[in-house]
Structure 1
Amino acid sequence: MVLSPGGTNIPVVQAMQDDPFFHCYSVADERSAMYFAIGLHLQTGEIVATSCTSAQATRNYVPGLTEAYYKHVPILAITTSKLERFQYNDYMQAPDQTSLPVDSVRKALICHLLQMRTLVF
């Protein structure tokens, strides 16, 4: 798991870091993170998952995703987004993340937030 921590993907980062199944690498720069993930796959032969926050971070994945696409390197990119009400409302850095180039992703899925819970410890 190659993680580029940011505001909206903190729950994903925390879940992956807390699960002993995943071996996590932190790479703050999203462009570098994607190329690191490609190298990790080429070294191990395993599918590599990546996670970044919303907006421009997702767009920064595109050059590496395009290379992975043409090299047939399996990368699972998990991107998080601000709530839909913030998109297209002059909210800073909230573009549509589903409109990535067709030669950078094989399949894009949207998982809507089902329920928010407040945890009290």
Structure 2
Amino acid sequence: MGKKVLSHLLECGNNPEYGNTDDGSHNHDYDDIMSSNTDKAASEILAEWRLQTDILDLKEFDKRILEWHNLNKLRIKCFNSNEHVRYVIKHDMGLSWSEFNCMMYCRILEKIGVPITSSEFDGISYSIEIPSHGKK
């Protein structure tokens, strides 16, 4: 992810009004920019993974997301059931950081062929739910 994008996200991270215009309405340009930036970041991450391994599947995603979050001292929990797997990540990085990471990881999963059942984010956490595919 580019340093400019990351620093801007960190700068705006705790501002609940970010993404809104002066009159309080939602800024749809923000959505377009966020979507473009998360797609670009997901593509860059996958390109790096392809240099490191031939395997780009859910098992590899699990391994890498756990390693990355542990390395950065972020709390991650993975909840498994017969129907779904839910990743929940707790942090203190703010709303924009949470939104960006949630969207980016959703894009990575979609790009490796894993459908997203649901995703949520707020200023202190984000979560992504996928079908379990028999995973326990």
TM-score, normalization by structure 1: 0.28
Bigger fraction of residues in strand: 2
Which structure: larger Rg?
A: 2
Bigger fraction of residues in helix: 2
TM-score, normalization by structure 2: 0.26
